[in-house]
Structure 1
Amino acid sequence: SNPVTDANALQGIKLICTYLPQAVADGTNMKARDMMAYAEFLAGMAFNSASLGYVHAMAHQLGAFYNAAHGVCNAVLLPVVQEYNSKYVPELFIDIAHAMGFIEVGQDKVKAVEVVLKSIRQLSETVGIPKNIKALGAKPEDFSTLADNAMKDACGFTNPHQPTKEEVVELFRKAYEQE
């Protein structure tokens, strides 16, 4: 990432947290939908320069294997993979927490990680995202194959930390069991 991609990503996060629940609750709310289109644009600008990470690398496999919507796969995997990433780059969660409106975390990395992960899960629940990959049809016996494929996905190479195959299998397991 770089300062431009970070600024675009953080502004996109701010807009999504504000407008996604409104757009889902009322599809005729044109301001919310316009702001979501802008958030999507900003996110695209960010990831086209900085690339993605293991959320997408794993989501590609789930979507292809179980014919599940890519955005839903990403949303279900996001808190699990971000919890993993937070062990390696907790400082990044401070800016994310601030973009989500949690200024009170200050520079406390632990608190920032906690509020970001909780907020992601709450937002997903608010907009009707399934709680786990079990709801998408995932089966534990497929996790090894899914992990092998995710580790070959180009998106994974820009993850903040490169997981082992065992760690990717464990991420799928956590995404399967999360409630």
Structure 2
Amino acid sequence: MAGGEGGSDDLDVLLTLPDELRGAFKDPLGPIHTDANRLRPDLGEPVIAVGDVVTRHLTQAGVRPDLAILDWVTEREALSESEKPDITGYGGRIDVENPAAGLSAALLRALGCGIERDEKTVIVVDGEEDLATVPVLAVAPDGASVVYGQPGEGMVHVPVDSETRTHARELLAKMDGDEAVQDALGGF
């Protein structure tokens, strides 16, 4: 699935974050780190990075994430070319659209595809990638490390196991939307 591919439902928003749940998504799901070099020995496989700054810090520390999800924006500000993470060296690139406070069918399919690929993959989101952490946690394999940004604080590292996967699936179930999310992610 490359940029421009996909069906007519790519822009379908399958899930949206209701206002009453916004607080539940602000609490970090794991420990916060400020030094990617110190985090490096604790990372499992595969490494999945959600966010531009996280991906840049991991890459600068010598960790090329197996899957990186980017939107070229941090804290609602477009990144300059010098601030963007280096995406050379990724074997695959998937371009998708995704709205703020939502999860589109295209993004969910790209996440499922990116996790299953044997090559390092980058997903470039036109829109917002912030909520991608939750479905990634719902389908990532045991032993994976999901690292995402906590605005103004650092990088959150979530080792994936059955407990984190169950918590992520419970969060997805609380969002407003379509049951087709499971199909878009490849089932869970």
**TM-score of the superposition, structure 1-length normalised?**
0.29
**TM-score of the superposition, structure 2-length normalised?**
0.28
> Which structure's CA Rg is the greater one?
1
